[in-house]
Structure 1
Amino acid sequence: MTQPTDKPELPGTGIRVLIVDDDEAHAQAVGESLERVGYECTVAGSGEGGLKLIEKENYDVVVTDLRMGEIDGLTLLRRTKEELPDAEVILLTGHASVQSALAAGQAGASMYLTKPLDIGELRASVEKASTRVRLIRQNTELARRLNEKFGFEGVIGNSPSMRKVIDQLKHVSNMNTTVLILGESGTGKELVARALHQNSDRKNKPFVPVNISAWPESILESELFGHEAGSFTGAMSKRIGKFEYANGGTLFLDEVGEMPVDTQIKLLRVLENRRITRVGSNDEVDVNVRLVAATNADLKESVSSGKFREDLYFRLNVVRITLPPLRERVADIPLLIDHFRKLLSDNHGREVPNISRAARHALVTYDWPGNIRQLKNTLESMLV
């Protein structure tokens, strides 16, 4: 017997669309077309009617005609961006011009379509706008969870060395200055970088981690700066890099000491100019990114040996946060044990066993060469 299967989710599921056009028959036809693929549509027959709706309702995508009455599409676009800043706006016009297209783009329109509409093109445009809306939702939810998990309270420790670290984090979190985090492998460098991000004005924008040592030199530049189609073998289409993806937020470069010298030169240029150039392009792209770098290497020694550029080192080393190894903060181990027990319990949906006094003593007296990561993995093996 064939087992029943769930119906596939339609592309418009969960997305509210407002359609504004003084040609109501056209607006209704657009709405019906979008409803067939799952969108929840509302129609307004004038700019005034559309404005009233965006002032009291929440919409994800607004599709509006450009030329209407007193309140035209550009006015509605600007008011939508004020009332619903995360909404995507698609402008429709039967009288396309370079001037109107430029004005639409400058006002924040996602797309600009000409009438008569091609239904396939319209659906594709609304789906593209919906994808951006969903990404914003996901980032907002992720930011909420990260704030719970990676706020300063997520940096566990009451030892003098960790209190110093937490004080530093609080002091520099809202500065836009570059931060260099030093520490042995497993000391929690990425967690500290996330705490910096989550307690900064950039917390609602992306936090983008990149492990420099994970990428071969031939791919690393494309990963960081993006590339244009055809710029190298296998580059079938344009791709934005991590700097552009992190725009407005924080880019975390882990193991920055492993960065090849040629890439160091390009990174230095980005830090100086706040612009990147994609591989295969001559055009510069402005980026607004806070850079946090981390390493377990001795960068001063790398500078002396010629492996790391001195000018880049000075650019990165504006604020330095040094994380102590676990063996130097033994007083924090009981706190970390309790923290990881709760974390494991939450992750597995059940209570985990208590740790005996003898086991706790063994955990506290061990020197933990792998630091916090090793402690966490050991506890997971013991308790789960």
Structure 2
Amino acid sequence: MATPDPKENDAHSIIISVLVVDDDEAHAEAVAESLERVGCECTIAPSGKRGIELIEGENFDIVITDLKMDDVDGLMILRKAKEELPEAEVIVLTGHSSINSAVTAMQAGAYTYLTKPLDIQELRAAVDKAAERVRLIRRNAALSRRLDEKFGFEGVIGNSPAMNRVIDKLKALAPTETTVLILGENGTGKELAARALHQNSNRKNKPFVPLNISALPQTILESELFGHEPGAFTGAVTRRIGKFEYAHGGTLFMDEVGEMPMETQIKLLRVLEDRKITRLGSNEEKAINVRLLAATNADLKEMMEKGTFRRDLYYRLSVVSVVLPPLRERQPDIPLLIEHFVKEFSKVYGKEVQGVTRAARHALMHFDWPGNIRQIRNTIEGMLALDTDGLLDVDDLPDEISPLAKTAGPDGTPLASGADFLVGRPMEEVEKYYIARALELSGGNREEAAKMLNIGERTLYRKIKEFDLKS
């Protein structure tokens, strides 16, 4: 296979993961060794049954399977791979006497077939071409991610330094299988961050299953997680599939994980270690292939010290932690959120909204937002639902926010007690002060600052150069 160019995208330089399924173990070893010499990472399944187990439990880029095996044939391996690993390519190996079956495999979605005895160069060439297709899919996925909203990452909106750090971290974690603990106050968008990780991962075509742990009694919680058999407890009349099984191949997001009872914590730890679940009322273990994401607003370290959260479970969940900052610490993102939610709810309510007045925008910018993203979202929805003139103004603000509008002048320009020194000063100094203040309030967003000042962006750009405000 060609040596990856380090200048290419990460999608191009990935190591290709290959599963070789063949009940002739010596032949499987030979195939794996020949591909490892050119940079592939190979796993061997010495039987069709083991191949099925590996496909269900792990991710592979390419599956190479013998067509004729004693327990499970190659066509079944092919069907399972297409079901569990839709982006993987499958290469079928066959003898000359089974060419018709190989054609059937091609019709069922195999990338190609090769006849035995294998020509090593032909094998490597086929894997190389299949790998290029895998890389192309990943490059396209990476391109799609780059074409997200200008300031967003699959719904995680922000351009402040704090949020840029969060988004960069999410982008790095998304393609991995790492368990992530998402921390933050209520309403900071923990589920949005989890969905971003899922949507930008190799599991995006599989289920994303959210579960809020809080307020669920232990029996119901364990049934929700692991499922149950009929008669497992009072009221369990039929079999129930739990969230782990339902999320098979995808992502399970457990919110408010700090609310989990100690006994359930022990069972969850065992599932994370063994990658198997047992339904309530059953003795049969079932393998699961799930990426786990967890979130909480609780201080788990403090809970560990008090003995209410298991230390070993904490370290299992927090392989990597992502901390979402509260909205009061990311003021430059507020204009972006306002615009985003205005667009969203304009469509929901079928209303044409001209915009938000400067006075109303000033009040929204200077509110503390104890409920974070959820609160500003609900506020904008309420303003838009009640609006009758197509312009969101001070009269549309909720009562707890509207008094802040009084700290703005008639045109919405922020009034600051420290601005009295400008009285009697040259107009140039007054102009410089208010441009600098608008840039500060908008977090350096020139488009937003120009709107605040009611001037064009080109005029603002010229003034920034004139007053040397680039820094």
Question: Does the Cα contact within 8 Å between 1:257 and 1:308 map onto a contact in 2?
Answer: yes
Aligned residue number for residue 155 of structure 2: 154
Aligned residue number for residue 219 of structure 2: 218
Q: What residue identity is the alignment partner of 1:219?
A: I
Any idea what SS the aligned residue of 2:294 has?
strand
Any residues of structure 2 matched to 1:262-341 within 5 Å, and which?
Answer: 262-341=263-342
Aligned residue number for residue 234 of structure 2: 233
Aligned residue number for residue 381 of structure 2: 380
Aligned residue number for residue 82 of structure 1: 109
For 2:348 and 2:102, locate their aligned partners in 1 and report how far apart those are by CA, in whole Å: 48
Which stretches of structure 1, 4 residues or more, deviate above 3 A after TM superposition? 74-81, 147-151
Q: What residue identity is the alignment partner of 1:355?
A: V
What's the CA shift for 1:351? 2.1
Question: Does the Cα contact within 8 Å between 1:268 and 1:312 map onto a contact in 2?
Answer: yes
Q: What residue identity is the alignment partner of 1:82?
A: G
CA offsets 1:205-242 (integer angstroms, 9 cap, x no match): 00000000142212100000001111111111111100
* Root-mean-square deviation (Å): 2.5
Aligned residue number for residue 193 of structure 1: 194
For 1:77 and 1:208, locate their aligned partners in 2 and report how far apart those are by CA, in whole Å: 36
For 1:255 and 1:80, locate their aligned partners in 2 and report how far apart those are by CA, in whole Å: 47
Aligned residue number for residue 363 of structure 2: 362
User: CA 1:311–1:334 in structure 2 vs 1: closer, same or farther (change >3 Å)?
Assistant: same
Question: Does the Cα contact within 8 Å between 2:154 and 2:199 map onto a contact in 1?
Answer: no
For 1:76 and 1:225, locate their aligned partners in 2 and report how far apart those are by CA, in whole Å: 41
Any idea what SS the aligned residue of 2:206 has?
coil
Question: Does the Cα contact within 8 Å between 1:256 and 1:294 map onto a contact in 2?
Answer: yes
Any idea what SS the aligned residue of 2:231 has?
coil
For 1:241 and 1:177, locate their aligned partners in 2 and report how far apart those are by CA, in whole Å: 22
Q: What residue identity is the alignment partner of 1:351?
A: E
For 1:327 and 1:261, locate their aligned partners in 2 and report how far apart those are by CA, in whole Å: 34
Aligned residue number for residue 177 of structure 1: 178
For 1:219 and 1:79, locate their aligned partners in 2 and report how far apart those are by CA, in whole Å: 46
Structure 1, unpaired ranges of 5+:
1-69, 85-143
Any residues of structure 2 matched to 1:119-130 within 5 Å, and which?
Answer: none
User: CA 1:192–1:324 in structure 2 vs 1: closer, same or farther (change >3 Å)?
Assistant: same
For 2:260 and 2:279, locate their aligned partners in 1 and report how far apart those are by CA, in whole Å: 18
Question: Does the Cα contact within 8 Å between 1:227 and 1:240 map onto a contact in 2?
Answer: yes
CA offsets 1:225-279 (integer angstroms, 9 cap, x no match): 0011111111111111000000000000000000000110011011111100100
User: CA 1:80–1:238 in structure 2 vs 1: closer, same or farther (change >3 Å)?
Assistant: farther
What's the CA shift for 1:151? 7.3
Q: What residue identity is the alignment partner of 2:231?
A: G
Aligned residue number for residue 255 of structure 2: 254
Question: Does the Cα contact within 8 Å between 1:180 and 1:292 map onto a contact in 2?
Answer: yes
Structure 2, unpaired ranges of 5+:
1-96, 112-143, 386-471
Question: Does the Cα contact within 8 Å between 1:183 and 1:325 map onto a contact in 2?
Answer: yes
Q: What residue identity is the alignment partner of 2:270?
A: R
For 1:79 and 1:236, locate their aligned partners in 2 and report how far apart those are by CA, in whole Å: 45
For 1:229 and 1:78, locate their aligned partners in 2 and report how far apart those are by CA, in whole Å: 40
User: CA 1:78–1:231 in structure 2 vs 1: closer, same or farther (change >3 Å)?
Assistant: farther
What's the CA shift for 1:353? 4.8
For 1:262 and 1:82, locate their aligned partners in 2 and report how far apart those are by CA, in whole Å: 46
For 1:264 and 1:80, locate their aligned partners in 2 and report how far apart those are by CA, in whole Å: 47
Q: What residue identity is the alignment partner of 1:239?
A: R
Question: Does the Cα contact within 8 Å between 1:151 and 1:199 map onto a contact in 2?
Answer: no
For 1:212 and 1:81, locate their aligned partners in 2 and report how far apart those are by CA, in whole Å: 42
Q: What residue identity is the alignment partner of 1:303?
A: M
For 1:243 and 1:148, locate their aligned partners in 2 and report how far apart those are by CA, in whole Å: 30
Aligned length: 254
Q: Greater CA deviation, 203-212 or 231-240?
A: 231-240
Aligned residue number for residue 345 of structure 2: 344
Q: What residue identity is the alignment partner of 1:223?
A: E
User: CA 1:360–1:212 in structure 2 vs 1: closer, same or farther (change >3 Å)?
Assistant: same
The structure number with the bigger radius of gyration is 2
Relative contact order (C-alpha < 8 Å, sep 6+): which is higher?
A: 1
CA offsets 1:70-121 (integer angstroms, 9 cap, x no match): 99xx98985664279xxxxxxxxxxxxxxxxxxxxxxxxxxxxxxxxxxxxx
**What fraction of aligned residue pairs are identical, expressed as a percent?**
67
Any idea what SS the aligned residue of 2:321 has?
strand
Q: Greater CA deviation, 226-235 or 191-200?
A: 226-235
TM-score, length basis structure 2: 0.51
